[in-house]
A and B are shown apart, each in its own frame.
Chain A
Amino acid sequence: MLKLSKHWLLVALLVLLILVPVITQDSYYLGVLITMGVTIIMAVTVRLVIRTGQMTMCHAAFFSMGAYGSTLLALKAGLPYWLTLPLSGLLTAVIAMLIGQATLKIKGVYFAVATFAFGELVRLVYTKFSFFGGTQGLANIPRPGFFGLEFNTSRVHYYYLLLFLILLTVAVMYRLERSRFGMNFNAIRESDALAESIGINVMRHKILAFAIACFFAGLAGSFQAHYMTYINPASASFWTSTYAILYAVVGGLGGVHGPIIGAAVLTIASQYFSSFPFYEMILYGSILVLTIRFFPGGLLDLPSQVTRWLGYR
């Protein structure tokens, strides 16, 4: 009975999300939800990579590959959005597979530092070469158009597109989590060598997780590019990657819904601080420090941590 009511809850949530633009056309609220949506995809996908035991510090680099890829395909090759979106995702996934092939055999802190360097390298490439627009980036990115439906400055169309992308991403993540792949990822995270010894092809699994995560990150980047209609190298910045990890960790890495909760809560919190940018960062930093130190399981784990804490009293 409990499981049935949880499903009804999700259905109700889904209906509510679909009806949001019907309830409010307010561009501010839609804007916040859209920002939240992009961060949700980033947080959920970065969690997938972290769950295989690899601490990636360059997630924003793949986000930006989707953004720049989609933009360049649209601007230079004149392709319509329904092509550039999936193509940019695929491009990002392919690059992720190549990078992963070379780097995923490295573990621990070395992988973190290597991805950190890679992320900076990518950002520098965007900054240096005029093909990517240099420090200014690229502007006048065409708005999406799907078979006659042209997006305009109203955010409603973007909202539905993003909702679709999020549902797709989360559905794939959930299926992976519950599948044999998900169990293998857990095994690999706990111990590479042990997983290998029972016949799991560790590298193939890691590369698969990495490629899938980067595919959706690329889709998010493509969305962002055509939503903002401009992109610049800041989209590949180290801090963007860090925020993705922040949302995922604060929400809790234990389940796919953890990063969703983390991203949602922190995005809403940041709205209250929008006029105090420094305080916002200090808040984020403090939340991160306190979470790691006292609540490593994140918000997901909070109820059980509290009951445990009360149980000791």
Chain B
Amino acid sequence: MTAQLLGQMVTNSMSVSLIYILIALGLTLMFGIMHIVNFAHGEIYMLGAFGIYYLNVLAGIPYPLALIISVILLAGFGAALNALFFRVLAGQFLPSLILSLGLVLILQNVGWLIFGAEAQGVPKIVQGVLTFGGISLPVDRIVVMLAAVALMIGMYLFVHSTRTGRAMRAVEEDPTAASLHGVNVSRIHYLTWIIGCALAAAAGGLVAPLWFLDPVMGAHPALNAFVIIVIGGLGSVPGAIVGGFLFGFIETFGGTLIGPEITSMILFAILIVFIIFRPTGLMGVPIR
């Protein structure tokens, strides 16, 4: 095991973790605040990536603007999903789970129809490779990681330091008490969807120039995000972050050292053990 390989694995796991965390943050907020399970979150990520393809590659809009537009569009889409389907299901995880499965079927297959069965590529936004200490890192990866960290920190600060963030946490703890204190619970629900989808779309958009695009690219990260939020604690933002790094490290190191399938099996087994013995996860709030 050379230092080169080790360094490579560390940076790989960092970047992979950050993407998972961005997706997991939205999921954990949605569960914590609205008690809904959204299996279709990965599809938002996928649409974010394809948004970049259409805006940047086909329409020629510069990448940063394309990213912002894609995020805004998908945030709006999330609000629409809430208005149409999930608002009436708030508090019931079972119908929302099944409904989101239906959405996955629709979105993935609409994706196949519109985007076609050939994997698409988005050209790199930044060229060049940075080399330090014998490890070579493409610059675009560094940019993605920095952007993801910025979003993550912004998200954390928002939830913990702003008034609206406190309102969200209040609703998470007790919606009735929060509304008695003047919090517009319905608006917080919309906000949760908007933030969650914005983060997932941003993750997709950041990833678009790095990896290949296809309509089912969201399935694997979403699945991993679910594992992360359970291990980290459903509803907990710091839990999603810690769980995300843990997961990313195990997945990358395990994948390289003992193979991806065995690593996946181990991760699922860890998840099951967590659910049986510590369902609140590492940092979660107790189940009401």
The answer to whether A125 and B265 have CB atoms under 8 Å apart is yes
Question: In residues 104-143 of chain A, which contact B (Cβ within 8 Å)?
Answer: 106, 108-114, 116-118, 120-121, 124-125, 127-128
Q: How far is the CB of A239 from chain B (nearest CB, A)?
A: 9
The answer to whether A281 and B105 have CB atoms under 8 Å apart is yes
The answer to whether B261 and A284 have CB atoms under 8 Å apart is no
Q: How far is the CB of B232 from chain A (nearest CB, A)?
A: 13
What 1/0 flags go to B79-120 for Cβ under 8 Å of A? Answer: 000001100110001110111011111111110110000000
In the complex, whether B264 has a CB less than 8 A from a CB of chain A is yes
Contacts of A103 in B (CB 8 A): 272, 275-276
- Give the residue of B98, B109, B265, B268 whose beta carbon is less than 8 angstroms from that of A282: B109
- The interface-forming segment of A146-154, A206-214, A289-297 is A289-297
Also in contact, A128 and B113, with CB within 8 A (given A120-B268, A285-B105):
no
In the complex, whether A310 has a CB less than 8 A from a CB of chain B is no
CA distance A57 to B234 in the complex (A): 19
In the complex, whether A33 has a CB less than 8 A from a CB of chain B is no
CA distance A55 to B100 in the complex (A): 14
Q: How far is the CB of B50 from chain A (nearest CB, A)?
A: 16
Interface size on A, residues (CB 8 A): 37
The answer to whether A286 and B106 have CB atoms under 8 Å apart is yes
Also in contact, A110 and B279, with CB within 8 A (given A242-B101, A249-B98, A288-B101):
yes
Contacts of A128 in B (CB 8 A): 261-262, 265
The answer to whether A285 and B279 have CB atoms under 8 Å apart is no
The answer to whether B98 and A292 have CB atoms under 8 Å apart is yes
Of A113, A118, A287, chain B has the most CB atoms within 10 Å of the CB of A113
CA distance A285 to B275 in the complex (A): 29
The answer to whether B104 and A124 have CB atoms under 8 Å apart is no
Residue of A at shortest CB range from B99? Answer: A292
Considering the complex of A and B, which 4 residue pairs feature the smallest CB-CB distances, nearest first?
Answer: A285-B105, A288-B102, A285-B106, A289-B102
20 other A-B residue contacts (CB within 8 Å) besides A109-B97, A121-B265, A121-B272: A103-B272, A103-B275, A109-B37, A109-B93, A109-B234, A110-B275, A112-B94, A114-B271, A117-B227, A120-B268, A128-B261, A128-B262, A128-B265, A279-B113, A281-B106, A285-B109, A286-B102, A288-B101, A289-B99, A293-B88
In the complex, whether A278 has a CB less than 8 A from a CB of chain B is yes
In the complex, whether A15 has a CB less than 8 A from a CB of chain B is no
Instruction: Please report A residues at the B interface, Cβ cutoff 8 Å.
Output: 55, 102-103, 106, 108-114, 116-118, 120-121, 124-125, 127-128, 242, 245-246, 249, 278-279, 281-282, 284-289, 292-293, 296
Task: Tally the A-B contacts, defined by beta carbons under 8 Å.
Answer: 113
Contacts of A112 in B (CB 8 A): 37, 93-94, 97
Residue of A at shortest CB range from B86? Answer: A293
Contacts of A111 in B (CB 8 A): 275
The answer to whether B109 and A293 have CB atoms under 8 Å apart is no
The answer to whether A106 and B95 have CB atoms under 8 Å apart is no
The answer to whether A296 and B106 have CB atoms under 8 Å apart is no
In the complex, whether B230 has a CB less than 8 A from a CB of chain A is yes
Interface size on B, residues (CB 8 A): 41
The answer to whether A118 and B268 have CB atoms under 8 Å apart is yes
Q: How far is the CB of A94 from chain B (nearest CB, A)?
A: 19
- Give the residue of B101, B107, B112, B275 whose beta carbon is less than 8 angstroms from that of A106: B275
Also in contact, A114 and B276, with CB within 8 A (given A124-B265, A124-B268, A293-B88):
yes
- Give the residue of A118, A120, A288 whose beta carbon is less than 8 angstroms from that of B98: A288
Contacts of B271 in A (CB 8 A): 113-114, 117
Q: How far is the CB of A186 from chain B (nearest CB, A)?
A: 16
Residue of B at shortest CB range from A106? Answer: B275
- Give the residue of B88, B105, B268, B272 whose beta carbon is less than 8 angstroms from that of A288: B105
Also in contact, A113 and B262, with CB within 8 A (given A106-B276, A121-B269, A289-B85):
no
